[in-house]
Amino acid sequence: MELKVLKFEIIDSVAVIKMNNPPINALKEDFLEDMTAVLAKIKGNSEVRAALLASECPGFFSAGDDLGSMQDIDESLIALLPKAHAVLNEFEQLPIPTVAAINGHALGGGLELALVCDFRFMAQCDIRIGLPEVRLGLIPSLGGTQRLPMTAGKAKAIEMMFKGLQLTPDDAMEIGLVNKLTPEDEIFDYSFNFAKRLALQATHAIAMIKASLYTGLYKGFEKGIEREMEAFKENIFTPDAREGVDAFFQGRKPEFKGTKS
């Protein structure tokens, strides 16, 4: 299908997804349809070993939903929520490392989208990040109440959501909401090169780590340990596991293929 608000290409085994829905990259039905198609392309291509999510809208990574749509709220908006959660969950559970290049405001659903990525890099400029919905008498609706505490900690997440705080890049870095700050004109290149380096790693092992990690986070410690043991058995006999051990004893750099067989 032809994409409407996303641009997609594969560069050096990195799936590069650029949001292009001016003015604020609203996460509406066209975004969900495009992202569903992109996820299918990623999962159906064994060449893809990392993914990068970025924006081409000046000043905005994404602000979630535009305020205009809030003036005429009806059941159609509520009906979109299960689909939106399904898309974000699927992105979060991709068996490859994922990176968000935050080059503009990431507010509301924009932050919730960034939270499903494994890494978040943010431009050091006059932009803000947060879940300000309470200022409009609303609440986060795309997983923010669950994912923000896991990322920034319970105390800070409560403060951010109860007050509707919009953090500066420095504030976001201080609480661990983002992994690194870069100059504004370097954010995409830094994020892409980081994703490209991850794509050279043992990405099947990364997939097993992600599966174990998210099982524990969402289903509890015991389920997480069970998944970890299963993942170890799935991974230990892979070519990458053998390559990693052989390379260590031979004193050379491993060349991982990212495959499970």
Contact indicator for 44, 225 with CB cutoff of 8 Å: no
Look at residue 127 and tell me whether its pLDDT is greater than 80.
yes
CB-neighbour burial class of residue 148 (10 A; exposed 0-12, middle 13-18, buried 19+): buried
pLDDT at 67 over 70: no
Task: Determine the average pLDDT of the residues in 188-205.
Answer: 97
Distances (CA, A) of 216 to 148, 209, 231: 16, 11, 13
Q: Looking at residues 38-43, what average pLDDT do you find? A: 97
Q: Calculate mean pLDDT across residues 81-103.
A: 97
How does DSSP assign 147-188, residue by residue?
HHHHHH-HHHHHHHHHHT-EE-HHHHHHTTSSSEEE-GGGHH
Compute the average pLDDT of residues 215-238.
97
Catalytic residue status for 75: no
CA neighbours closer than 13 Å in the CB half-sphere of residue 33:
8
CB atoms within 10 A of CB 58: 9
Integer CA distances (angstroms), 209 to 26, 145, 178, 203, 255, in order: 32, 24, 20, 10, 19
pLDDT digit string, tens, across residues 225-236: 999 999 999 999
- DSSP, collapsed to helix, strand or coil, labels residue 145 as helix
Domain residue spans of the chain: 6-199, 203-250
Reduce the secondary structure of 187-202 to three states and give it as a string: HHHHHHHHHHHHHCCC
The whole-number pLDDT of residue 166 equals 98
112-138: average pLDDT: 97
Radius of gyration of the chain (CA): 19
pTM of the full structure? 0.94
Q: Which two tokens stand for residue 223?
A: 């389920």
Query: What would the 3-class secondary structure string for 44-108 be?
Result: CCCCCCEEEEEECCCCEEECCCCHHHHHHCCHHHHHHHHHHHHHHHHHHCCCCCEEEEECCEEEC
CATH number of this structure's domain 6-199: 3.90.226.10
- Convert the pLDDT of each residue in 144-193 to its tens digit: 999 999 999 999 999 999 999 999 999 999 999 999 999 999 999 999 99
Q: What is the predicted pLDDT for the residue at 79? A: 84
Catalytic residue among 112, 222, 243, 255: 112
Q: How many helices (H) and strands (E) does the chain have?
A: 10, 10
Q: Lowest mean pLDDT of 7-16, 28-37, 62-71, name the range.
A: 62-71
* Active-site annotation holder among 133, 174, 228, 243: 133
